[in-house]
């Protein structure tokens, strides 16, 4: 009934729509739920009966003393709950092992969690250009989960899938979606100020659509200008959570007119925002801190190819009046354009 009341919105008292074969998870969940419902109801009803039956009445004194020890009763209320808990443990542990061991034939994708965004890397090192996890339908997909900073949790309710993403570890899980569609991804572990916007999507596609997606992912620079690729990275790889491109300060400095400006550093120095400074700021943000800003940018060390770094820089140049050079190469699609930047060398340890 409550469910019907809530049906107008997406909210439901029951598990959300499932896009995988989730019978084992769902049966266990509802089994535990009904055990709880039945025993809660039983206890509440008996409580009400006893409250009424043994209520205070004028002239009646406490003549029956309370019951003494009863071995039969003790055994009953020990053995029955123990059996129930053992059954729950059996099915729970079985499901846990099933979810944690990737079948050998699975197609493996790396999931990268960082404050506050998800990234996906396909075999061969290609990233998802639109920031969504694309997968083919009816195919076993193995996920290797890695974190750059704190503990996150990769949570896809429609796949009944939830796995912690722990720094320094490679956690694994897998799924096989059997319904084409787009499904929500959440972070299930509180991970800082913008935890609640650490959202993403899984797009389950036909095999043909997935192949088309991979062609795009592999040939991004043959179909887009460096400036366009840079803008895509800005929007899909989390930069937009902290950097505006129109002037306002979010968490970090705006990129508007940043390239080519003089950046005041926290230690009082001033450095020009050139290729080297920008590249170092992306790969090792803590090396030089922009004065007045907190040192909270997660390092993207090794996350971008030299060509992707170049594209980010072209995008920054295109939105800065402080860049006086020629923007033409940034607006030219050329699959063989040399990369505009090299990855920064690691700064010397302090």
**Least distance (Å) from Cu ion to the CB of residue 112?**
12
CA distance 159 to 229: 31
Question: If contact means CB under 5 to 8 A according to the sort of partner, which of ligand HEC, Cu ion, none does residue 152 touch?
Answer: Cu ion
Among 187, 229, 282, 311, binds Cu ion (CB under 5 A): 187
Q: In what order do the strands lie in the sheet with 107-114?
A: 126-127, 117-122, 107-114, 140-147, 171-176
Compute CA 197 distance to the chain's CA centroid, rounded to the nearest angstrom: 10
Binding partner of 285, given ligand HEC, Cu ion, none, CB within 5-8 angstroms per partner class: ligand HEC
Of 139 and 322, nearer to ligand HEC (C-beta) is 322
Nearer to ligand HEC, 145 or 282 (CB): 282
185 contacts 111 by C-beta, under 8 angstroms? no
- 319 sits near Cu ion (criterion: CB under 5 A): no
Residue 198 binds which of Cu ion, ligand HEC, none (CB < 5-8 A, kind-dependent)? Cu ion
127 with 155: CB under 8 angstroms? Answer: no
Query: Which option in ligand HEC, Cu ion, none does residue 278 bind, with CB closer than 5 to 8 A by kind?
Result: ligand HEC
Task: Specify the stretch interacting with Cu ion by CB under 5 A; choose among 130-138, 182-190, 258-266, 288-296.
Answer: 182-190
Decide if 91 contacts 99 (C-beta within 8 A).
no
Residue 237 interacting partner from Cu ion, ligand HEC, none (CB closer than 5 to 8 Å by kind): ligand HEC
- Which of ligand HEC, Cu ion, none has residue 139 at its interface (CB below 5 to 8 Å by kind)? none
Region from 46-54, 63-71, 96-104, 146-154 binding Cu ion, contact rule CB under 5 A: 146-154
Q: Does 290 sit near Cu ion (CB under 5 A)?
A: no
**Residue 191 or 344 having the CB closest to Cu ion:** 191
Query: In whole angstroms, how close is the CB of 141 to ligand HEC at the nearest point?
Result: 25
Helix 226-236 vs helix 306-318: crossing angle, to nearest 10: 100
Q: Which of 117, 129, 132, 152 binds Cu ion (CB under 5 A)?
A: 152
Question: Which long-range contacts (C-beta less than 8 Å, at least 24 apart) are formed by 47-50?
Answer: none
Binding site for ligand HEC (CB under 6 A): 115, 237-239, 241-243, 251-253, 258, 263, 278, 281-282, 285, 289-290, 293-297, 300, 312
Binding interface with Cu ion (CB under 5 A): 152, 187, 191, 198
């Amino acid at each position: 009934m409550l469910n019907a009341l809530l049906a107008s919105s997406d909210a439901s008292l029951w598990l959300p729509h499932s896009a995988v074969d989730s019978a084992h998870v769902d049966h266990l969940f509802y089994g535990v739920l009904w055990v709880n419902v039945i025993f809660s109801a039983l206890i509440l009803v008996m409580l009400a009966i006893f409250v009424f039956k043994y209520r205070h009445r004028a002239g009646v004194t406490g003549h029956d003393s309370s019951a003494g020890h009863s071995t039969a009763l003790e055994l009953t209320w020990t053995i029955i709950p123990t059996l129930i808990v053992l059954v729950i443990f059996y099915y729970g542990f079985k499901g846990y092992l099933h979810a944690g061991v990737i079948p050998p034939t699975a197609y493996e994708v790396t999931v990268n969690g960082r404050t506050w965004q998800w990234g996906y890397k396909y075999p061969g090192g290609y990233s998802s250009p639109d920031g969504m996890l694309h997968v083919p339908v009816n195919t076993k997909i193995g996920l290797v989960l890695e974190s750059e900073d704190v503990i996150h949790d990769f949570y896809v309710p429609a796949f009944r899938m939830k796995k912690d993403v722990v720094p320094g570890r490679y956690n694994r899980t897998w799924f096989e979606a059997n319904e084409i569609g787009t499904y929500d991804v959440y972070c299930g572990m509180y991970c800082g100020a913008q935890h609640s916007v650490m959202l993403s999507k899984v797009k389950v596609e036909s095999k043909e659509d997935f192949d088309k997606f991979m062609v795009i992912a592999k040939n991004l620079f043959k179909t887009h200008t460096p400036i366009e690729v840079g803008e895509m990275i800005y929007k899909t790889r989390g930069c937009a959570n902290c950097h505006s491109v129109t002037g306002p300060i979010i968490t970090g400095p705006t990129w508007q007119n940043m390239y080519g400006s003089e950046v005041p550093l926290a230690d009082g120095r001033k450095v020009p925002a050139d290729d080297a400074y920008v590249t170092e700021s992306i790969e090792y943000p803590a090396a030089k801190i922009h004065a007045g800003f907190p040192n909270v940018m997660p390092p993207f060390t090794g996350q971008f190819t030299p060509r992707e770094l170049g594209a980010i820089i072209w995008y920054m140049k295109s939105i800065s009046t402080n860049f006086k050079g020629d923007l033409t190469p940034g607006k030219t699609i050329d699959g063989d354009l040399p990369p505009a930047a090299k990855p920064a060398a690691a700064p010397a340890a302090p």
